[in-house]
Structure 1
Amino acid sequence: MEIIRSELQFVVLARGIGSRFETLSSDIPKPFLPVANLPLLHYVFEYLCKSKVRQAIVITHSGLQKRINMLAEKFPIKIENALVDPDIGTADALREIASRIDHDFVVLSGDLITNIPLHKIADIHRVSGSAMVMLLNEENEEDSKKICKDKLVSKHFIGLNKERVVMFQSSFDSGNFVKFIKPFLEKFSELELHSNITDGHLYFFKHWVLRLIEKKKKTISSIQGDLVPLLVKSQFNPKIAKRLSKYSRQGEYPNFKGFNFLKDNCNMRKQQFKIKCIAYKTPRNLLCMRVNTLNSYLRANFTLITCNSFFSREAYIYKTIYLNKGFRIHEDDHIEDSLLGKKLTISGQRNIKNSIIGENCNIGKNVRIENSILMDNVKIQNDCQIFNTIMMNSSILKAKSRLIQCTVRVNQTVEMGTIATKYIFGEESFY
Structure 2
Amino acid sequence: MGMDFQVVVLAGGTSKKLLPLVSKEVPKALLPVANRPVLSYVLELLEQSNLKDLIVVVEGEYAALLVGGWISSAYVDRLHVEVAAVPEDVGTTGALRAIAHHLTANDILVVSGDLICDVPPGAVAAAHRRHDAVVTAMLCSAPICGPSESGSSSGKDKAKKPGRHNVIGLDPTKQFLLHIAAGAEVEKDIRIQKSILRAVGEMEIRADLMDAHFYAFKRFEEVLNQKETFQSLKQDVLPYLVRSQLRSELLLNGAQAEENGNEKDASQNNKIKLSQLLSNASTPSFHERYALGLKGSASVSRKTHKCCVYIASKSKYCARLNSIQAFSDINRDVSCYSGGPSRLLVTGDASHLSGYSFSAQNNIIHPSAVLGSKTT
TM-score by length of 1: 0.63
Aligned to 2:202: 190
- 1:214 paired to 2:225: yes
Aligned to 1:318: 359
Cα distance in 1 between the residues matched to 2:196 and 2:49: 38
* SS at 2:20 equivalent: helix
Cα distance in 1 between the residues matched to 2:363 and 2:228: 49
The 5 A counterparts of 1:218-229 are 218=229, 220-229=230-239
Identity %: 26
* SS at 2:41 equivalent: helix
Pairwise CA distance, 1:310? 2.4
The count of corresponding residues between Structure 1 and Structure 2 is 305
- 1:41 paired to 2:33: no
Deviation per CA, 1:16-44: give whole Å up to 9, x if none.
23222212123631111111111111111
- 1:25 paired to 2:41: no
Q: Which is richer in strand?
A: 1
1:260–1:97 CA distance, 2 compared to 1 (3 A) = farther
Aligned to 1:251: none
Pairwise CA distance, 1:322? 3.5
1:17–1:195 CA distance, 2 compared to 1 (3 A) = farther
Cα distance in 1 between the residues matched to 2:54 and 2:89: 22
Cα distance in 2 between the residues matched to 1:70 and 1:118: 25
| Aligned pair partner of 1:138 in 122, 133, 141 | 141
Cα distance in 2 between the residues matched to 1:181 and 1:258: 17
* SS at 2:81 equivalent: strand
Cα distance in 1 between the residues matched to 2:364 and 2:88: 37
- 1:11 paired to 2:8: yes
1:172–1:344 CA distance, 2 compared to 1 (3 A) = farther
Cα distance in 2 between the residues matched to 1:136 and 1:146: 15
- 1:102 paired to 2:104: yes
Judge conservation of contact 2:141–2:318 (CA < 8 Å) in 1: no
Judge conservation of contact 2:143–2:163 (CA < 8 Å) in 1: no
Cα distance in 1 between the residues matched to 2:211 and 2:194: 27
Cα distance in 1 between the residues matched to 2:135 and 2:13: 26
1:12–1:37 CA distance, 2 compared to 1 (3 A) = same
Pairwise CA distance, 1:181? 6.5
1:263–1:316 CA distance, 2 compared to 1 (3 A) = closer
Cα distance in 1 between the residues matched to 2:22 and 2:103: 30
Gaps of 5+ in 2: 147-159, 253-286, 295-299, 336-346
Deviation per CA, 1:175-194: give whole Å up to 9, x if none.
25324576554433332111
Gaps of 5+ in 1: 149-154, 247-256, 265-269, 327-340, 347-358, 362-431
Cα distance in 2 between the residues matched to 1:92 and 1:142: 30
Q: What is the one-letter code of the residue matched to 2:127?
A: I
Cα distance in 1 between the residues matched to 2:175 and 2:290: 21
1:197–1:83 CA distance, 2 compared to 1 (3 A) = same
Judge conservation of contact 1:72–1:78 (CA < 8 Å) in 2: no
Cα distance in 2 between the residues matched to 1:204 and 1:54: 17
Cα distance in 2 between the residues matched to 1:133 and 1:174: 21
Aligned to 2:213: 201
Cα distance in 1 between the residues matched to 2:204 and 2:239: 17
Q: What is the one-letter code of the residue matched to 1:25?
A: V
Cα distance in 2 between the residues matched to 1:13 and 1:142: 23
Deviation per CA, 1:85-136: give whole Å up to 9, x if none.
0210111111111111111111111100111121121111112110011111
* SS at 1:87 equivalent: coil
Aligned to 1:88: 90
TM-score by length of 2: 0.72
Cα distance in 1 between the residues matched to 2:130 and 2:87: 36
Aligned to 1:69: 68
Cα distance in 1 between the residues matched to 2:305 and 2:144: 33
Pairwise CA distance, 1:156? 2.0
Aligned to 1:159: 169
* SS at 2:138 equivalent: strand
Q: What is the one-letter code of the residue matched to 2:226?
A: K
Cα distance in 1 between the residues matched to 2:366 and 2:187: 52
